[in-house]
Amino acid sequence: MKTLLSFKQIDFWLQIILPGCLLLGTRDFIDIYITIGAIQVLSCLLNLFLLKPEYKHNGRYLYNVVLLFIFIISLAVFLPLIWDAGNGDIVYVFLFSMLIIGFVMAIWYLVISYREMQFINKLVKRHELIK
């Protein structure tokens, strides 16, 4: 159980510390944005397969569904570019909307991670009291 708590703490703090380090180092908004997204998608996949259902926050399922929906929309927007379908305007609208949606998704995932970390921390403390 303590290993799980350590994993969740690392998961949560990486989402905060790594972008902060990038901000100090590069000051390039897109690098930070992509890094946060990559960390959270990787974290989401790890939690999807490794975290037992009883430890998952209720909002995680909906988050996963929305993330899958965004992935499908992304494919629908970018796959035609392979065949040069000439939908450049759609790409710009999509990318601009992703700046806003991505920010909301990042905060949402951070809240989910924090609540899971709190819940697991309570379980660890309860388990230690029982011993």
Which residue range forms the structural domain that includes residue 116?
Answer: 2-130
Q: How many CB atoms lie within 10 A of CB 90?
A: 15
Query: Looking at residue 111, what is its pLDDT?
Result: 95
12-16, 19-23, 58-62, 93-97 — most confident range: 58-62
The radius of gyration of the chain from alpha carbons, rounded to an integer in Å, stands at 18
Count: domains in the chain:
1
Query: Looking at residue 91, what is its pLDDT?
Result: 77
What are the pLDDT digits (tens) for 19-76? 777 777 766 778 778 888 888 999 999 999 988 889 999 999 999 999 999 999 988 8
Q: Give residues with Cβ within 8 angstroms of 20, minimum separation 6.
A: none
Give long-range contacts, CB 8 A cutoff, 24+ apart: 69-78.
Answer: 70/98, 70/101, 70/105
> Helix (H, G, I), strand (E, B), or coil: what is residue 25?
helix
- The angle formed by the CA atoms of residues 82, 86 and 92, to the nearest 5 degrees, is 95
pTM for this prediction: 0.83
